[in-house]
C-alpha cells in the first residue's frame, strides 16, 4: 500500500485529474447500473426447475430495477453451452448466468476435456435456493423406512434396482452416493428424463428412485409413491413428515440441486455487490418465498463467497464420487 502511495505521489500532477475522473466514472457506473437490458442466460431447456427459477428471479429484477432482465435459454451439453457463452462475454453486468449445481459442480468432472472452470471463468454473485431429492418407492414395496430398505438391500445384494433420470445426472450420482454411504449393492437403471422413471417406480417395474421433490410431490400426495427420506440435512418445511437420510442413520448424507447467479470472470466488484444486494432483497420478499415454496424450492441468498463455498463443497463431493467410479454400473 505504501509503495502504491509513493508511486502515485511521483506521478506528474497533470495525471491526478484523470485518475479522479476514472475512479469517479467507475463508482458512477456501478451506482447507476443497470442502464440497459440485462440478458440472463439459462443453460437448460425451458420447462424444468431451472427455468422456473430463472424466470421468477428475472421477472422480479425487472420490476424492482425498472430495466428488463430477459431470459435466454441456451441448452446443451449438460449446461456447458450456455456457460461457455457467458464465459466469453464482456464483464459489464449485461450478460449473466443463472445456473445449477449440475452445470457447476458435476458437469466439469464428466467432461473429458473440461471447457470451463466454475471457479476461475465466472464471478460468483449470489446463491438463489435449493431443492432436495427424495427417495421414493412404490406403495407396495416392503420397506417402510430407510433402515428397512438398507436391511433388505444388504440381505439380497444385487437383487434390487434404482431408476435414475439419466446417466451422470444428480439422480444417478445420488444413487451412487447412497450405495457408498450405506454399503449396499443395487443396479442403477438410467432413463431419459424424470417422467418415465417416476412412472416405472410407481408401477413397481423399478424398485426405487432419487427424484427432485417437486417432480414427485403430486404422486406422493396422491398415494402413488411412498417417500422414505429426503436428501437434505434438515427436514423440509414443505414435507415435514418425511425424515432425512441423515437423521435415519446415514450421517451427513446430503444431495440437493441448487441454483446460483454468476457473471463472467472479472465482473467489477461494485456491480457484483449491487446485484448481490438486489437478489437478497428479492429473496426476502414474502411473495417470492411463497412462490418458490409452491415449487418445492427453498431460498438461500447470502454473500458472493457463500456461493463459492457452497459450490466448492459440492464440486469436491461429486468429484470424489465420480472419480471412485461409483457411477459406472
109 and 58 within one domain: yes
- Asked, for residue 184, whether it belongs to a domain, the answer is yes
- In tens digits, the chain (329 residues) has pLDDT values of 454 544 555 555 554 555 455 545 555 556 789 999 999 999 998 877 888 999 999 999 999 999 999 999 999 988 999 999 999 999 999 999 999 999 999 999 988 888 999 999 999 999 999 999 999 999 999 999 999 999 999 999 989 999 998 888 899 999 999 999 999 999 999 988 888 999 999 999 999 999 988 889 889 999 999 999 999 999 998 899 999 999 998 999 999 999 999 999 999 999 999 999 999 999 999 999 999 988 889 999 999 999 999 999 999 999 999 987 644 44
- Cα 16 to Cα 10, 11, 236: the distances in Å are 11, 8, 57
Q: Can you give the pLDDT at residue 78?
A: 85
317 and 271 within one domain: yes
- Asked, for residue 49, whether it belongs to a domain, the answer is yes
Q: Can you give the pLDDT at residue 327?
A: 41
Q: Which run of H or of E encompasses 85?
A: helix 80-87
273 and 289 within one domain: yes
117 and 41 within one domain: yes
164 and 92 within one domain: no
Q: Which domain holds residue 223?
A: 132-230
pTM of the model: 0.83
Q: What is the CATH number of the domain that holds 183?
A: 3.40.190.10
Considering its fold, how many domains does the chain have in total? Answer: 2
Q: How far apart are CA 277 and CA 281, in angstroms?
A: 6
Q: How far apart are CA 258 and CA 36, in angstroms?
A: 28
62 alpha carbon, distance to own chain's centre: 22
- Asked, for residue 29, whether it belongs to a domain, the answer is no
185 and 48 within one domain: no
CB 216 within 8 A of CB 225: yes
- Asked, for residue 226, whether it belongs to a domain, the answer is yes
- Asked, for residue 161, whether it belongs to a domain, the answer is yes
- Asked, for residue 328, whether it belongs to a domain, the answer is no
- Asked, for residue 13, whether it belongs to a domain, the answer is no
176 and 143 within one domain: yes
- Asked, for residue 164, whether it belongs to a domain, the answer is yes
287 and 268 within one domain: yes
137 and 118 within one domain: no
- The H-assigned helical ranges of 44-203 are 49-65, 80-87, 101, 107-110, 146-155, 170-182, 194-203
Phi, psi of 34 (to 5 degrees): -95, 150
Q: What is the CATH number of the domain that holds 315?
A: 3.40.190.150
Amino acid at each position: 500500500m505504501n509503495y502504491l502511495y509513493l508511486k502515485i505521489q511521483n506521478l506528474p500532477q497533470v495525471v491526478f485529474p484523470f485518475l479522479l475522473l476514472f475512479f469517479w466514472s467507475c463508482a458512477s457506473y456501478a451506482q447507476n447500473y443497470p442502464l440497459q437490458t440485462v440478458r440472463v442466460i439459462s443453460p437448460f431447456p425451458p420447462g424444468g426447475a431451472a427455468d422456473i427459477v430463472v424466470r421468477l428471479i428475472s421477472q422480479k429484477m425487472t420490476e424492482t430495477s425498472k430495466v428488463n432482465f430477459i431470459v435466454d435459454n441456451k441448452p446443451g451439453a449438460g449446461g456447458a453451452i450456455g456457460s461457455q457463452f457467458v464465459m466469453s462475454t464482456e464483464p459489464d453486468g449485461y450478460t449473466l448466468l443463472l445456473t445449477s449445481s449440475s452445470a457447476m459442480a458435476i458437469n466439469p468432472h464428466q467432461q473429458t476435456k473440461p471447457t470451463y472452470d466454475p471457479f476461475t471463468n465466472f464471478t460468483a454473485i449470489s446463491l438463489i435456493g435449493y431443492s432436495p431429492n427424495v427417495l421414493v418407492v412404490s406403495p407396495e414395496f416392503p420397506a417402510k423406512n430407510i433402515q428397512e430398505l438398507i436391511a433388505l438391500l444388504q440381505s439380497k445384494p444385487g437383487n434390487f434396482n434404482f431408476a435414475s433420470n439419466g446417466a451422470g445426472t444428480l439422480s444417478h450420482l445420488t444413487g451412487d452416493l447412497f450405495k457408498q454411504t450405506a454399503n449396499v449393492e443395487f443396479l442403477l437403471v438410467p432413463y431419459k428424463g424424470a417422467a418415465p422413471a417416476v412412472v416405472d417406480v410407481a408401477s413397481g417395474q423399478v424398485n426405487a428412485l432419487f427424484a427432485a421433490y417437486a417432480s414427485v410431490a403430486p404422486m406422493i400426495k396422491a398415494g402413488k409413491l411412498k417417500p422414505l427420506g429426503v436428501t437434505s440435512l434438515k427436514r423440509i418445511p414443505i414435507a415435514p413428515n418425511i425424515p432425512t437420510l441423515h437423521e435415519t442413520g446415514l450421517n451427513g448424507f446430503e444431495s440437493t440441486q441448487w441454483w446460483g447467479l454468476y457473471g463472467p470472470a472479472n465482473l467489477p466488484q461494485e456491480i457484483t455487490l449491487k446485484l448481490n444486494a438486489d437478489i437478497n432483497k428479492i429473496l426476502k420478499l414474502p411473495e417470492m418465498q411463497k412462490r418458490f415454496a409452491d415449487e418445492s424450492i427453498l431460498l438461500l441468498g447470502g454473500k458472493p463467497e457463500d456461493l463459492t463455498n457452497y459450490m466448492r463443497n459440492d464440486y469436491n463431493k461429486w468429484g470424489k464420487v465420480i472419480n471412485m467410479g461409483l457411477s459406472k454400473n
